[in-house]
Structure 1
């Protein structure tokens, strides 16, 4: 009877924690929607260039690219990890697809090979984190440095220009008035939502982030899931790198620099906990829109870009402090 009573208490505690997590995410998402509405109104009043078709198209294109990277980062953060190599993978896939296209290789094959190269980086990250027992921060920081060096080596630190218009034209394509890049992001959003809410893998990601040892004891294959988590992050970064190359019309060695910061900020501001076990796709999407809108609005208003970087950093710290406060309340 005593064991049964204790079991019921544990079950009730788990339900309470799950309820609090869900409530916190809903509050974070609702707050972000309110902030975005206010920000849009302020920018509409402050500058008449914000609501122009050209500016909104550029905003959607930029948000779509960083948004895809942020969705991959969300999986990693929910699992209580971090991936600092995402920006470097964006740059790597940019150079790889550009170099293949320059050799005359077909677009489909060039894109597929760039995606494979990027995904391999993620798999190596997973191996280092799980098999090497290296903390994700150090593992992905080292990988970021390696990949950046590799990019400079294979490209000769030079831009790869002269890409076929059949490839670069996709970034300028519009469908029902919206940039084609947005629809790629939308597909990724839908797939990511299905994975997190409807699949065993998605539940495993949350379980590992909440308590990796309990997950292991419950029968979850930690190694395979860690490989997949970092593989997804790198794969989506590769998708973003290919889209960025199409948008810029060139393979640029420094492409993706700083994207890891925006990706982390988008996920954390959207309610994902750096301590793992919490986060949502909708929250990250809203966070990505907020980050892109802040940068876009700042540029339109002529705000010093260094001040914008300070604001982004402060936003991340604030989001983490809120997360810490919520955990203490629990």
Structure 2
């Protein structure tokens, strides 16, 4: 079913703009899941509801799960799957570079969702890991091995001592919401939809393409119709870390009065938002493609939706979505309450 129709169905059911009060805090992951939700076909919506009963089919909430489970030890083995340390800094991530990293994790859980050998419960876990790891790989410091992805680097952001990693995990987004959207998450979400329909619409087809050859062994079970290429995404993040994230720090690291909440924020917020937009759209495309691939026995199959259709769809949909948001009576979360947010 066409994206436009799927969004109409989704919003008519009253869950297009999910409540952000319950557990919201990891801004980047929540937003990627929310954006992905808006791009699902009607068949994919049913598939997600089937796999995520504990989240009522809500990708935004499910996207937070892989961080929430870190409080125990059951999933300690998954910690290494949230990031990749490039073999050679500031260079493209080679195929077959690792399996126990975010790149291998994305391939593994995509493969599980395509396989009939796994139970519904196992596929539920696979989907929750997959949508989270796609968010992770679009955060530049999850593809930078320097100083443990910036977690060891202390900086000041708007007068608060924190780590460079935390700045990119959530503090940039929190400031953006406070500064430009009156602390309204819904208004910010609508803005991102608008950006997809306008600023980024010419780029959408390229976001669905994979440029690197598929040589990782896990590829053997992933059809070419599935637009999954985490080496590409990790390469972009690694280069962004080297070209955008780190140079200003290297220039000012000896200045104790340097505050990243000023000029640094202004210079990098667009790049941070781009990662959220790309992650959200790619999550949706992959889920839609998986649903088409696995057949009616597993999901109920809709036809494949191309990247070109997405461009056309966004152009007509965003103004209607905005009017719905204006009518929404949901309560927004005060951004000052969500400082515990982390991507990693």
TM-score, normalized by length of structure 1?
0.30
Say which structure is richer in helix: 1
TM-score normalised over the length of structure 2: 0.29
